[in-house]
Structure 1
Amino acid sequence: MQTETIVYIILAGIIAFVFAYFQYRYKEKSMTRLGMLFFFLRFMTVFAVLLLLINPSFDKVSTYVEKPSLVVAVDNSSSINHLNQREKAEHFIRSIAENQSLNDKFNVKFYAFGKSLKASDSVSFTEEETNIYDAFRQLSQIYKQTTAPTLLISDGNQTFGNDYQFISSQYKQPVFPIILGDTVQYTDLKIQQLNVNKYAYHKNKFPVEAILVYSGNGNVRSKFEISRGNTVVHSEVVDFSKSENSKILNLNLPASSIGLVNYKATLVPLNDEKNKVNNFRNFTVEVLNQKTKIAIVSDIIHPDLGALKKAIETNEQRSVSILNSEFENIKINDFQLFILYQPNNKFNYLFEQLDAESKNQFIVIGPKTDLNFLNSTNENFTFEITNQTEDYQAEWNRNYTPFLVQDIGFEEFPPLYSNYSQVNFFVPFETILNKTINGISTGSPLLATFEKDNRRQAVLLGENIWQWRAQSFLSHQSFNLFDNFLGKLVQYLSTDKPKNRLNIDYESVYMGSGNVVVKAEFFDKNYIFDARKSLEITVTNNSTNENKTVPFVLKNNNYQVDLSGLPPSGYSFTVRVQGENLSKSGSFQISEYNVEQQFLNADVNKLKQLAENSSGASYFIENSNQVFDDLLSDKRFVPIQKSVKKTIPLVDWKYLLAILALSLGLEWFLRKYNGLI
């Protein structure tokens, strides 16, 4: 308590004493017992009131004992089942829960992980992907400020994610791996990896790369085959030895029929192989009838040109040619879309040809664009020319309707460099992205599309879109999000199909270990997104003719349905809108592949390295009970006595109010009883 507060309390006592003295002792010749009682009660009343006004604070210190946490992270992937370790793992988990000494010393917390981490003490060992690194990353946030030794019950086999053996730089807790599996080396042949493009073109050949691996000591011979149905389309003999234990085969297969074509790659198993699942791999190729050709026309050299070309050509259905404005020898009808990059007056002939042939176009406008020329040759929009420039960032318009657009983090992208001018459209248009300056929306379009006379056009008002593709990679470690966005825009512009009220977004091929998600978007008759409708999808297994109807779920600005529980096969589907005479059909293939079944052993070396890096210790499941004794005797994990200091103001002390009420009430009662009032 501060000295100033103590002085105020002393002064309050003096004032209360003087006040009581003046009322009950001043001018009184003698003090009776009743007078002394009145004096005391009045003193207490005034003193309590003054104390409430001063409201001093008192420090209250409470202590408690905090036990360390024991984190039990259980690998819930199907590889535990595949290695026949489920029963041992479940028995060990029960022994942790039933060990009273362990529970007395630690706060035991159970987690299960596969693709993601979940707080749970029940496991099913059915997840088809494993990310040990991400599990530790999430645990590092939960136990950042506490002592939490960690039991990792796993075979150490990770199917995706960063290398977890060096996670100790982020996760500052000792890790004690409980290794599920053994170190016995079995003779094994497997298809380590199969690299195939999703798309091929009719009457062409498509490449296949197969990486084959052998584990064993002797010399063996096998055969690698690729079959389509009952027909073997490729076969070759492969030899392995202890020193030459891998092969990379490159071959080309003919694309002889249009549509989804299923293939099966087989590395013929040896007689004594324990795991034969990893000797087979299914894959699907979509054979297309033609390729979309796109021309990028520019008279300047800019990084945007290469970024646009790379992003568009990630889809094997498309090819891009970069041309200048003087290409009279090129036939315009060879291309389905023209991207006109910062046009100038040299583009005059090209614009005339595009208008004559009603070709779709995508115009990119920047500081090097001749706006006077563009205003004179274009009748759909015009610019106010100011001869000034500005940096504009993007704001996603979730109400854009012509096709499905996903927010890929537009607001985090670097600004585009453009003319400081207002664009005025003379035709109905829809905005994909709006301009913002310093986070303030200008209400002006940055990227817009419009349709006129069955001709589709788009306008991007800024250069340096290559920086968007680079930022997308930095944020997501992949170009896919940006490339898919640009691919959808190109697909919309390169076709002449009328606007649809029902749009479906899906993949033609899904891997068996991934998510099978189909998205849909429905618009009313004014082409405004309608979130009130109920959509459903009927899926038919082409092999068994079994039907399954599943409703869509509304998420943000589209409808979604997760079909991940479907077994590998070919499927056809129909999406219907209830209450509307609208439906759309399609087909997709789920390829059979479970990466968790490719492992023969536990990854002992990585788990041991993880234990060493984190100052822990590793144990095989057969002698796992030793970890209990080690944890109980480890001096690093002891309860910690902590104290909490609380500052409590006097006004919160309810007894002072009771004293005040009692002194006032008792004084009034005694005075009334003795006829003094």
Structure 2
Amino acid sequence: MQTETITYIIISGIIALLLALFQYAYKSKIKGPRSWLLSALRFITLFSVFLLLINPKFDQVSYYNEKPNLVVAVDNSESVSYLEQSQNTSQLINSLKANEALNENFNIEFYSFGKEVNATDSLSFDEKQSNLALVFERLAEVYNSSISPTLLISDGNQTYGNDYAYLTKRYKQAVFPIILGDTTTYTDVKIQQLNVNRYAYLKNKFPVEVIATYNGNSTVNTQLKITSGATTVFSKPITFSKTITSQIVNLTLPANRVGVTSYRAQVVPLNNEKNTINNVKNFAVEVIDQKTNVAIVSDVLHPDLGALKKSIESNEQRNAEILSTTEFLNKANDFQLVIVYQPTNNFRALFKEIDRLKLNKIVVAGTKTNWSLLNQLQANYKQQLTNQTEEYQPTLNQNYATFIVDNLNFGEFPPLKAEFGETIFSIPFETILYKTINGTQIEEPLISTFEINDRREALILGEGIWRWRAQAFLNENSFNSFDNFIGKLVQYLSTSQRRTRLNVNYESFYNGNDNVKITAQFFNKNYEFEDNASLNITLKSKDTDSTRSFPFVLKNTNYEVDLSGLEAGNYSFIVSVNNENISKSGELKILDYNVEQQFLNANVTKLQSLANSSDGQSYFIDNTAAIANDLLNDSRFATIQKSTKKVVPLIDWKYLLALIALSLAAEWFIRKYNGLI
């Protein structure tokens, strides 16, 4: 309490006392004890009222006990059951739940993880992937500001995501790994890694790299074979020993027919091998008969050029070259699509050549664009000339009907910089992204497409696309989403197919552990996105002739169906729309591969290193009796008494109001009783 407030209280007490004495000791006819009693009651009333006017504040301190958290993260992947540890894991979870001492001293939270992390203790051990790095990312978001020792029940074998050995440094908690498995070493030979391009070109040869490894002490001879159907297309003997534990085999295979071709790479098993599943890897290559060549033409240097080239070439079916106008004119016949980046005075001849060859193009306009010239070189749109620049953020047009555009959270992307003013189109066009200024969307396109005279064109009204690619990586730790966006734009401009009301997006083949997801968009007759349509996919297995149907689910601006539970094999499908005579058909292949079955042992070394680096302790699943006692006796995880201080103003103290009312009532009763009223 401040000195000034104390002074006011003392003065208030003196004034209240003087007023009470003046009324009942100096002026009153009542003498004796009744006078002093009335004086005291009047003093209490006046002093209490003065206190309310001053309204001093008091500190109110309360104490409470805070228990530490005990985070239990359980590996729910198939490798746990494959290592025959699912029963032991379930028993350990039940013992933790039943331990009264642990529940009394900790707030126990259970999580299961595979490719994703879920807050649950329900275990099925059927996850196809193990992403241990994501476990520590998610837990760090929740528990880094509290005391939360963590039990990691896992075999330590990671099949997806970043290496968790590095991400654990962000997680500021002691980690206690429960190791599912043993340290027994088995003789084993396996295909550690197989590298091959997803696409190849007709009548070319495509490279394949096979990395085979060996775990054992004796010298062994085996054979690497690659087959396609019943035909062996490659064979080579390989030898391993105690010192030669790996072999890298590089080879090329011919691409003789268009379509998806499946292959099977196998290292012939040894006589005493325990795990022969990891001796085999299936892979597939899609053979195409043409490659899209894209010219990126610019006379200015800008990071957008490199970002566009990287995005386009992320698909191996496409090649991009950054050229000057002169270089393009010398080899214009080599390209199917031209990206005209910020045209200047040197672009007159380029536009004439593009028109002569009837090439599709993307025009990217920015702060260095000569709009006076560009307005003259084409008649499809005109830009208002203001000689001023503006920054525009993107907003997705959810009714864009030409091809499927995924929402990449465009609203969080950095703005593009361009000429200020309206762009007026003289032909019909469709907007992919609208301009947004200071959070307000305006009905002007930032990125648009149109078709005229059997040619397709896109207009991007802004520079700074490289920032979008960087932002996509920050959002998802991957460039894939942005590269796919640019890839779809390039694909649309590189083909001559007419737009349809039903668009289906899928891959020709999927690896066994991939998420098999098919997306679709459906539009009404005005090519506006229809968000209440009913889409179904009918899937037929070519191997068994069985047929199944699945409904699509609306997600944002797409319909999506998840087929990740399908068995490996060849499938044909038909996507249809209920009450509409519209459908799309296709084929896909799912390769037989289960990454969770590739392991013989737990990754003991890595889990023990994790325990040491986080000041925790590792345990084997067969020796977990001491875990509870170790946690309870660790002084770092003791219950902490904490206090909270709350500043309470006197006016909130209801008892003071009751005291004022009581003293006034008592004073009135005494005066009334003595005939003073």
Is the TM-score greater than 0.5?
yes
Helix, strand or coil at the partner of 1:112: strand
**How far off is 1:274 after superposition?**
0.9
Other-structure match for 2:69: 69
Distance 2:480 2:378 in 1: 34
Distance 2:638 2:366 in 1: 66
Distance 1:367 1:643 in 2: 59
- Trace 1:243-642 onto structure 2 (pairs within 5 A): 243-298=243-298, 304-320=304-320, 325=325, 332=333, 335-344=335-344, 347-355=347-355, 358-387=358-387, 394-408=394-408, 410=410, 416=416, 418-420=418-420, 422-435=422-435, 444-473=444-473, 476-642=476-642
Distance 1:22 1:539 in 2: 100
Distance 2:601 2:520 in 1: 43
**How far off is 1:440 after superposition?**
6.6
When structure 1 is superposed on structure 2, of 473-482 and 565-574 the one drifting more is 473-482
Distance 1:630 1:208 in 2: 51
Describe the superposition over 1:228-284 as per-residue Cα deviations: whole angstroms up to 9, x where unpaired: 233333222222222222122222223333333332222221121111111122223
In the alignment, residue 580 of structure 2 is paired with which amino acid? E
**How far off is 1:215 after superposition?**
0.9
The 3 A distance-change label for structure 1 pair 18 and 584 is farther
Residues 136, 168 of structure 2: 8 Å contact kept: no
The 3 A distance-change label for structure 1 pair 432 and 664 is same
Distance 2:63 2:415 in 1: 54
The alignment of Structure 1 onto Structure 2 pairs a total of residues equal to 676
Other-structure match for 2:227: 227
Other-structure match for 1:185: 185
**How far off is 1:378 after superposition?**
0.9
The 3 A distance-change label for structure 1 pair 58 and 462 is closer
When structure 1 is superposed on structure 2, of 458-467 and 581-590 the one drifting more is 458-467
Residues 166, 613 of structure 1: 8 Å contact kept: no
In the alignment, residue 629 of structure 2 is paired with which amino acid? D
Q: Structure 2: which 5+ residue stretches go unaligned? A: none
Other-structure match for 1:147: 147
The answer to whether residue 113 in structure 2 is matched with residue 113 in structure 1 is yes
Describe the superposition over 1:279-334 as per-residue Cα deviations: whole angstroms up to 9, x where unpaired: 122223223243334344445565544443332232233334555545677575x6
Helix, strand or coil at the partner of 2:253: strand
When structure 1 is superposed on structure 2, of 387-396 and 129-138 the one drifting more is 387-396
Distance 1:166 1:226 in 2: 36
Residues 73, 150 of structure 2: 8 Å contact kept: yes
Describe the superposition over 1:496-551 as per-residue Cα deviations: whole angstroms up to 9, x where unpaired: 22332222222222222232222222222222222232333232333233333333
The 3 A distance-change label for structure 1 pair 453 and 178 is same
Residues 384, 423 of structure 2: 8 Å contact kept: yes
When structure 1 is superposed on structure 2, of 429-438 and 378-387 the one drifting more is 429-438
Other-structure match for 2:239: 239
Distance 1:301 1:47 in 2: 81
Residues 113, 130 of structure 2: 8 Å contact kept: yes
Residues 454, 498 of structure 1: 8 Å contact kept: no
In the alignment, residue 82 of structure 2 is paired with which amino acid? H
When structure 1 is superposed on structure 2, of 159-168 and 569-578 the one drifting more is 159-168
Distance 1:401 1:664 in 2: 80
**How far off is 1:486 after superposition?**
0.9
Describe the superposition over 1:135-163 as per-residue Cα deviations: whole angstroms up to 9, x where unpaired: 12322332223322222222111123333
Helix, strand or coil at the partner of 1:169: helix
In the alignment, residue 589 of structure 2 is paired with which amino acid? Q
Helix, strand or coil at the partner of 2:515: coil
Distance 2:671 2:542 in 1: 100
**How far off is 1:189 after superposition?**
1.2
The 3 A distance-change label for structure 1 pair 573 and 51 is farther
**How far off is 1:559 after superposition?**
2.1
The 3 A distance-change label for structure 1 pair 25 and 301 is closer
Helix, strand or coil at the partner of 2:622: helix
Distance 1:168 1:576 in 2: 47
When structure 1 is superposed on structure 2, of 320-329 and 367-376 the one drifting more is 320-329
Distance 2:434 2:146 in 1: 46
Distance 1:2 1:470 in 2: 54
When structure 1 is superposed on structure 2, of 374-383 and 416-425 the one drifting more is 416-425
Describe the superposition over 1:543-585 as per-residue Cα deviations: whole angstroms up to 9, x where unpaired: 2333333332222222222222222222222223333333222
When structure 1 is superposed on structure 2, of 468-477 and 377-386 the one drifting more is 468-477
**How far off is 1:129 after superposition?**
1.6
**How far off is 1:66 after superposition?**
2.7
The 3 A distance-change label for structure 1 pair 339 and 618 is same
Residues 73, 113 of structure 2: 8 Å contact kept: yes
When structure 1 is superposed on structure 2, of 109-118 and 180-189 the one drifting more is 109-118
Other-structure match for 2:195: 195
Residues 190, 267 of structure 2: 8 Å contact kept: yes
Helix, strand or coil at the partner of 1:636: helix
Residues 336, 495 of structure 1: 8 Å contact kept: no
When structure 1 is superposed on structure 2, of 14-23 and 173-182 the one drifting more is 14-23
- Trace 1:49-60 onto structure 2 (pairs within 5 A): 49-60=49-60
In the alignment, residue 60 of structure 2 is paired with which amino acid? K
In the alignment, residue 653 of structure 1 is paired with which amino acid? W
The 3 A distance-change label for structure 1 pair 289 and 162 is closer
**How far off is 1:418 after superposition?**
4.3
**How far off is 1:376 after superposition?**
1.8
Distance 1:305 1:143 in 2: 43
Distance 2:676 2:519 in 1: 88
Distance 2:105 2:309 in 1: 62
The 3 A distance-change label for structure 1 pair 551 and 12 is farther
Q: Structure 1: which 5+ residue stretches go unaligned? A: none
TM-score in terms of structure 1 length: 0.90
**How far off is 1:623 after superposition?**
2.2
The 3 A distance-change label for structure 1 pair 54 and 367 is closer
Distance 2:329 2:62 in 1: 88
Distance 1:315 1:619 in 2: 46
The 3 A distance-change label for structure 1 pair 503 and 665 is farther
Identity %: 56
Distance 2:266 2:218 in 1: 21
Residues 284, 589 of structure 1: 8 Å contact kept: no
Helix, strand or coil at the partner of 2:636: coil
When structure 1 is superposed on structure 2, of 167-176 and 485-494 the one drifting more is 167-176
Helix, strand or coil at the partner of 2:190: strand
Distance 1:560 1:99 in 2: 44
Residues 407, 557 of structure 2: 8 Å contact kept: no
Distance 1:578 1:525 in 2: 15
Residues 24, 30 of structure 2: 8 Å contact kept: no
